[in-house]
Amino acid sequence: MIKLFQIPDKIKTFFIEIGELSYFAGRFFKELFSRPFEYKELLRQCYKIGNRSLLLVGVTGFILGLVFTIQSRPTLMEFGAVSWIPSMVSISIVREIGPVIIALVCVGRISSGIGAELGSMRVTEQIDAMEVSGTNPFKYLVVTRILATTLMVPLLVVLGDAIALFGSALVENMKGDVSFLLYFNKVFKALEYSDLIPATVKTFFFGFAIGLVGSFKGYNCKKGTVGVGEASNTAVVYTSMLVFIIDFIAVFVTDIFY
């Protein structure tokens, strides 16, 4: 009888983790608006997160546009709708595929990196050393990283989208004799603010999730070097899931308003 009401350990752990993550997020907002502001570290993190992800995001975006156009071309040709490629590709990439794919690339690149970096700082007592030197390590390490990912991921997505469209234009230029000017003319005609704004807004949430989960896992890392690997790994798994959940909510909300 009692067993019927017992909650399995895994579910209990899951809810405890959600609670701790929410508390961590709450602490982020509390510390975000309190002085002193760590501008230098924020800029350093923005540079590190943004600049070092450029190549990966660029290559991913380019291949994404290239492949998407090559794959959809034959089907559209069957219906005589090749001229719709610029509008179809641009709307798909800007609204959905670009933000999600680039965010997932950033999850692998940034969230795991933050998890591993903060995790190793935790197990080697560097975070404790910061604390005893009178610096608030949460503010210095966590707030700056979450803020940097929240600001940089949208920029990386915009860049990735642009490069993906360039890749698509290249295919159209080579296979369909469509000039770049004509291609982008059609792209800008097809895109509306209702495509751009929700897609951009949700990338801020993607960036926030990437920084939050990576920092949470790393900052609370335990169990020595094994824990560092675990922190990095679980940061990727949790953030990937969170990206899809945020995307679902964003699409749902957008559908109501537009």
Contact between 121 and other proteins by CB under 8 A: the answer reads yes
- Max distance between CA atoms of the chain, in angstroms, equals 73
Query: What is the pattern of x (binds other proteins, CB under 8 A) and - over residues 65-104?
Result: ----------------------------------------
Q: Which stretch binds other proteins (CB under 8 A): 73-81, 82-90, 118-126, 200-208?
A: 118-126
Q: Quote the least distance from Cβ 241 to other proteins, whole Å.
A: 29
Of the two residues 122 and 217, which places its CB atom closer to other proteins in the complex? Answer: 122
Contact between 22 and other proteins by CB under 8 A: the answer reads no
Q: Quote the least distance from Cβ 131 to other proteins, whole Å.
A: 6
Rounded to 5°, the CA angle 124-130-136 comes to 130
Contact between 131 and other proteins by CB under 8 A: the answer reads yes
The correct pick among 129, 201, 245, 253 for binding other proteins (CB under 8 A) is: 129
Dist CA 175 CA 183 (whole Å): 13
Contact between 120 and other proteins by CB under 8 A: the answer reads yes
Q: Which stretch binds other proteins (CB under 8 A): 83-91, 93-101, 131-139, 241-249?
A: 131-139
- Interface with other proteins: number of residues (CB under 8 A): 14
The correct pick among 2, 134, 193, 255 for binding other proteins (CB under 8 A) is: 134
Q: Quote the least distance from Cβ 120 to other proteins, whole Å.
A: 7
Contact between 125 and other proteins by CB under 8 A: the answer reads yes
Dist CA 141 CA 114 (whole Å): 10
Of the two residues 121 and 187, which places its CB atom closer to other proteins in the complex? Answer: 121
Of the two residues 28 and 238, which places its CB atom closer to other proteins in the complex? Answer: 28
From the list 50, 24, 22, the residue with the least C-alpha distance to 110 is 50
Contact between 220 and other proteins by CB under 8 A: the answer reads no
Contact between 192 and other proteins by CB under 8 A: the answer reads no
Which parts of this chain interact with other proteins (CB under 8 A)?
120-121, 124-126, 128-136
